[in-house]
Structure 1
Amino acid sequence: MNKIKQGIEKLWAGPWVPPEHGKMPYFWLLSLAYMGWKYAYVAPGALELAMLVLTLALFVPLYLASFRARGWQVHACMLAGCLFGAAWVRWNPGAATFFIFACAMAAGITKMKHAMLAIAAVIALALLASLQASGNMRFLFLMPILTAGLPVGVGAVMDARLRRSRQELLRKQEEVEHMATIAERERISRDLHDLLGHSLSLIALKAELARKLVHRDADACAREVGDIEASARQALAEVRAAVTGYREKGLASALASARASLAAAEVALEENVERIPLAPAAENVLALALREAVTNVVRHAGARRCSVSLELEHGVAVLRIADDGQARSAADIRHGNGLCGMRERVQSVGGKLALRARAGLELELRVPAAVSSGMNP
């Protein structure tokens, strides 16, 4: 009982029409005044007046419910509107308004073809119902249906289609924004992993070196501690840059950092890097890949030598990083977060990543090198 009471209270409180339709559906109820046009010339009897009030009391909720109807319910509402009109044809030519409302209810039918057929069926039923009237009454009944029924119905259907398209577009925009948010989070996660992994490895190596030098060479130890401080500050700046997606130093900074990391780990570096004009996106991908690759060389490879080369081949920037570490076959390659993130970033700019394990590990990255600005390693 309480649920029924709550349902009635909720229905009474409204809104009676979905908010996206605005206030116009309430305004169109004024069209029912056409039923009273007859009584400006002919006084209604008590029974006729009572039937009119009852008809309007039943039709108005039906009309409001048609805005929430779906599927077969729409057809039921249209048929009920036609029945109301047919019941009044003989006594009141204003019954035409019920058929016009029935045409407008076709807006609830999603397929255009079916909606047009439903409007045509309503007009056909109106023509059949007009047979109950005679002479001038039939003309007064048919004139508004034939002149307004089709335009009102087609206009309502087109407006509903436009509204549905707008709602679908809004949903698509929300999905795109959601996917963009996820992609940005993944980008930041990958960048932070690569940046912090590299920087913390460098700090750990220099801290270990400083510990060994603290009793043997105080000056060298102080220099290493200074490098640790500088690396920590640089890591903080890079994390801030990664969050905003902007890096001013790009590949040149990554190369300088790679030199310092490999030197601290006592890994000999062979460098053959050409000056290539790179688009910001491509440079960012190569810089992060270089950082991650050097971090892996320092932490996992057990290498004594490392080579880095960058060259332009038919409009494609090719970055190769090779070491003489422990990898001898594909089974020795660890596909962790670093390599997965590297592959995703390369693919995001239309590039390719290749891994080869022979006498050590070799990474080859190929990315489109759109002309943007020079790189100064």
Structure 2
Amino acid sequence: MTTMASTTTPQRHLGRWGPVFAAIWLVFLIDPVREAWRLRDTARGDVGLVATIVFAAVYLFVWIRLRSRRARLVARPGWAEAVGWLAVMGVLAVTMVWALGQSGTASAVYCAVAAVILPFPYAGVLVVGIAGLLVLLGEVRSGWDSEVGTAFGVIAGAMAVFGIQQMMLRNIELIRAHDENAELAVENERTRFARDLHDILGHSLTVITVKAELAQRLLDVDPSRARTELADLERLSRDALADVRRAVEGYRDVSLPAELARARAALAAAEIRADLPNSTDDVPSEKRELFAWAVREGVTNVLRHSGARRCSVVLTPTSVEVRDDGRGSAEAVRGSGLTGLQERASLVGGTVVTRTLSPGYSLQVVVP
């Protein structure tokens, strides 16, 4: 079975006492060690002692390895690795039984517990096989006591560890889901910030560009008015900087009256006749922010793309429309500003409607 987490998964911090608690359970190998010590003057005693010590080391190594993988949100080892570990433990367990007799069967519980690293159907077959083999050996080996109790312990221990493993797998799934949600939240916030920055700076820089072009044309014709336009440029640049700071700080609200005032000044600077409402009293308060963004986007597109001579804004309690008599604003349809406006409108159940007129272009936001 392949691993279930990518190699880029961050390492989770685990407590330092885990291996100590795992090592405590090796106390059940005391009987094989005692039997090996009793037979220390024989080859079987020496082999049994070495096999028991190596078996304990392998079991502890497997536990620590699984723990470190769990910290990286890896649910199970690969098939080859899992079978390799179990094969090594099985060979050592058989060696312990051959060398030390019935006391060597203490290794069976550890083998059954380690078998849980396999998927449940395979682990279940292996655990039942180990328990059945113990019962059989207790019946056929002369001088051995019944191994029914040990077999029951094998099954009970494996079931307990299986339950713990399922809880750990659920925790891994929850952590992964949390990480995915966090990544999505970051991506959504990055998209929102990019959209807001486009909406804010796109409008401001467009107005600044228009005024800079006008001031340049007036330098030799009307220096006094050129100075006025340059003063407006300074004010607009300061306003743009303030808007960017508010966006960075997370303040996204815009004012519909303020946007209409800005639109009036920007259209006048571009020498476009403006037909704008003088009051926003008919617009419900919960729709004003969206309508303000619509005015900003629509007027910005008129200034950038339309080449219009006249621009009008029509407000109703349920809609706002920005209309011009230019050559149309097809470039705006392909831009990210309109996409951002559509996203804002969808949040309150509104729709964005664009139409090519003859002549001109219309951008309308409708909120029922």
Question: So what's the TM-score if we normalise by structure 1?
Answer: 0.74
Mapped to 1, the partners of 2:158 and 2:289 lie a distance apart of: 57
Deviation digits for residues 330-352 of structure 1 (CA, Å, limit 9, x no counterpart): 96765123333433444466543
Judge which range, 197-206 or 167-176, deviates more: 167-176
Alignment of 1:102 onto 2:103: no
Superposition pairs of residues 122-133 of structure 1, within 5 angstroms: 122-133=130-141
2:55 pairs, out of 46, 53, 59, with 59
Equivalent residue, structure 2, for 1:323: 324
Looking at structure 2, the residues matched to 133 and 235 of structure 1 have their Cα atoms a distance apart, in angstroms, of 90
The alignment status of 1:361 with 2:357, answered yes or no, reads no
Distance 1:303 1:124, change over 3 A: same
- 1:10 maps to none
> Secondary structure of the equivalent of 1:138?
coil
Distance change in 2, residues 1:30/1:251 (3 Å): farther
Q: Deviations over 1:350-374 (max 9, x none)?
A: 5432211122211222458xxxxxx
How far apart are the structure 2 equivalents of 1:322 and 1:20? Answer: 68
Contact 2:48–2:96 (8 Å) recurs in 1: no
Change beyond 3 A, Cα 1:331–1:216? closer
- Looking at structure 2, the residues matched to 20 and 173 of structure 1 have their Cα atoms a distance apart, in angstroms, of 24
- Tell me if structure 2 keeps the 8 A contact 1:303–1:323: yes
CA separation of 1:363 and 1:36: change in aligned 2, threshold 3 A? same
Shift of 1:248: 4.7
Instruction: Decide whether the 8 Å contact of 1:106 with 1:157 is kept in 2.
Output: no
What residue in structure 2 maps to residue 119 of structure 1? 127
Corresponding residue of 1:198? 203
Q: How far apart are the structure 2 equivalents of 1:133 and 1:29? A: 26
Instruction: Deviation per CA, 1:210-231: give whole Å up to 9, x if none.
Output: 4455566565444433322221
- What is the distance in 2 between the residues matched to 1:221 and 1:331? 32
Q: Deviations over 1:297-346 (max 9, x none)?
A: 01211222223234444xxxx3322222212xx96765123333433444
Tell me, yes or no, if the aligned pair for 1:207 and 1:224 is still in contact at 8 Å. yes
DSSP 3-state at the match of 1:321: strand
Residues 89 and 133 in structure 1, CA contact (< 8 A), matched pair in contact too: no
Q: Which amino acid aligns with 1:239?
A: V
46 and 38 in structure 1: CA distance in 2 versus 1, 3 angstrom threshold: closer
Aligned partner of 2:284 among 267, 276, 287: 276
The CA distance in 2 between the partners of 1:70 and 1:323, in whole Å, is 65
Deviation at 1:101?
A: 0.4
What do residues 255-293 of structure 1 show as CA deviations (whole Å, max 9, x unaligned)?
Answer: 322222122223222337433121xxx755543332122
The alignment partner of 1:28 has SS state of helix
Closer/same/farther in 2, CA of residues 53 and 304 from structure 1, 3 Å limit: same
Amino acid at match of 1:290: V
Corresponding residue number in structure 1 for 2:149: 143
- Indicate yes or no: 2:20 matched with 1:28: no
Cα–Cα, structure 1 residues 51 and 219, in superposed 2: closer, same or farther, change >3 Å? same
Q: Identity across aligned pairs (percent)?
A: 30
> Which amino acid in the other structure matches residue 172 of structure 2?
Q
TM-score of the aligned structures, taking structure 2 as reference length? 0.76
2:116 counterpart letter in structure 1: A
The alpha-carbon distance between structure 1 residues 362 and 309, as it changes in their structure 2 partners (threshold 3 A), is same
Q: Which residue does 1:336 correspond to in 2?
A: 335
1:39 Cα deviation after fit: 7.4
Is 1:48 equivalent to 2:44 in the alignment? yes
Identify the range of structure 1 (57-66 vs 200-209) with the bigger mean alpha-carbon deviation.
57-66
**Structure 1 residues 93, 366: closer, same or farther in 2, change over 3 A?**
farther
Kindly indicate whether the alpha-carbon contact (under 8 Å) linking 1:89 and 1:130 is maintained by their aligned counterparts in 2: no
Correspondences of 1:1-377 after superposition (within 5 Å): 22-23=18-19, 24-36=21-33, 45-64=41-60, 66-67=62-63, 68=65, 69-71=77-79, 73-75=81-83, 77-78=85-86, 81=89, 84-85=92-93, 88=96, 91-109=100-118, 111-134=119-142, 137-139=144-146, 141-146=147-152, 148-214=153-219, 220-265=225-270, 266-271=272-277, 273=280, 274-278=282-286, 284-313=289-318, 318-327=319-328, 334-347=333-346, 351-359=350-358, 360-366=360-366
SS of structure 1 residue aligned to 2:285: coil
Q: Deviations over 1:84-104 (max 9, x none)?
A: 545555854333321110121
State the distance in 1 between where 2:230 and 2:57 align.
Answer: 81
Amino acid at match of 1:325: G
Instruction: Tell me the distance in 2 between the aligned counterparts of 1:305 and 1:232.
Output: 25
CA–CA separation in structure 1 for the residues paired with 2:207 and 2:330? 27
Q: Per the alignment, do residues 306 and 152 of structure 1 end up closer, same or farther by CA in structure 2, a change over 3 Å counting?
A: same
Distance, in Å, in 1 between the alignment partners of 2:28 and 2:242 is 69
Give SS of 1:325's match: coil
Task: Judge conservation of contact 2:350–2:366 (CA < 8 Å) in 1.
Answer: yes
Shift of 1:294: 0.6
Between the aligned partners of 2:94 and 2:145, the Cα distance in structure 1 is: 12
Distance 2:172 2:246 in 1: 37
Query: Residues of 2 paired with 1:76 and 1:218: CA distance?
Result: 88
Unmatched segments (≥5 aa) in structure 2: 1-13, 66-76
1:207–1:225 Cα contact (<8 Å) kept: yes
| CA RMSD between the two structures | 3.5
Letter matched to residue 341 of structure 2: M
How far apart, in 1, do the equivalents of 2:157 and 2:242 lie?
64
C-alpha change, 1:80 and 1:323, in structure 2 (3 Å) is same
Q: Name the CA distance, whole Å, in 2 between partners of 1:217 and 1:321.
A: 32
